Structures are given as C-alpha cells and as structure tokens.
Amino acid sequence: MDLAEIGTRLELQDLYTAYAACLDTDALENWPEFFTTDCRYRITSAENYQAGLPIGLIYATSQAMLRDRVSALRQANIYEPQRYRHLVSGVTVTGRDSNGLDVTAGFLVVRTMQDGEMTVFAVGRYIDRVVRGGDTGWKFARKEVVLDSRRIDTLLAIPL
C-alpha cells in the first residue's frame, strides 16, 4: 500500500466522520455541502435495494433538493428534543475509476430522547459514490442509505 492510497483511505475516514458530526451536532444547514450539485441521495430499505426498486423513503436528485429538505425540517421542527449519534464502521473502497470512488460503510444511529431514553434508531449500510471536492477532499455524488429495517416511518424527520 503506497502513501497516496493510505492518504485516500484516511481522507475517506475524515469524510464519513465529518458527515456524522454534521448530523449529530444538528448542523443540518451544512449537510448539503457534503454533496455535489447534481447528487443523488436516497434512503431505502435493504429489501427494496436488493429488489432493485428505485423507490425510496427520501429521494433527492440535486443538492438544491437537499437544501429544500433542510428548510422544511427547520420549519416543521422548531424544537428538536432528540439527539442522534452516528457510529460509522468499515469504510471501504469497493471500486474506482478516473472520476471517483465507490465506497461502502456500515452505520448505527442511537437516538436519545429528552427524557434520556436511548434506543437504536437505525442500522444499515451507506453505498456511495464520491468524487473530488469539498473541505475533506471528497463529496458525495451519490449516497444510498440502505436500512436493515423496513420500519421506517419515524425516520422521515431527519437525514441519515
């Protein structure tokens, strides 16, 4: 493994760490900055993903749509009593070409309610495409948030 390859891997770690920190600190206005202008973002279930179904719980085809989503969230939730904590594990490059990298990672999100109750809120995989750009050196051109669970109604509120 050469120095460039090692550097790339650590940059990807930084990308996922910064992404998680953005969501966990409720800095949602910065969230679209992790994506390219013509990005694709989707939250779907493992079942739908495996079946190749294009539907998703959230489906956005541009950074502008992600901004709209944050605006809507801010208007809907004046007070946000929950906290979220993402743990990301196993960031892996699964493919590469001259334009970018295919990357996967596992994630777990714990939600803490205002009364202190902590629950596993979501687990699953990120199946992503990254290209050069952004503060950490990479941006998401595509991010598929593939949830292990089909029970997704409560997820509508926040990005993952």
Q: By the criterion CB under 8 A, which residues form the site for its own copies?
A: 1-3, 6-7, 9-11, 13-14, 16-18, 20-21, 24, 46, 83, 85-92, 104, 106, 108, 110, 112, 114-120, 122-125, 148-152
DSSP state of 26: T
Count CB atoms within 10 A of the CB of residue 17: 14
Place of tokens 């605006």: 71
Distance CA 66, CA 72 (A): 10
With contact defined as beta carbons under 8 Å apart, do 26 and 129 qualify? no
For its own copies, the closer of residues 51 and 120 by Cβ is 120
For the bound state, the minimum distance from the C-beta of residue 10 to its own copies, rounded and expressed in Å, comes to 6
For its own copies, the closer of residues 3 and 78 by Cβ is 3
For the bound state, the minimum distance from the C-beta of residue 33 to its own copies, rounded and expressed in Å, comes to 17
For the bound state, the minimum distance from the C-beta of residue 89 to its own copies, rounded and expressed in Å, comes to 4
Place of tokens 């992600």: 66
For its own copies, the closer of residues 90 and 95 by Cβ is 90
Which residues lie closer than 8 Å to 15 by C-beta, 6 or more apart? 34, 130, 134, 136, 137, 138
For the bound state, the minimum distance from the C-beta of residue 61 to its own copies, rounded and expressed in Å, comes to 27
For its own copies, the closer of residues 17 and 62 by Cβ is 17
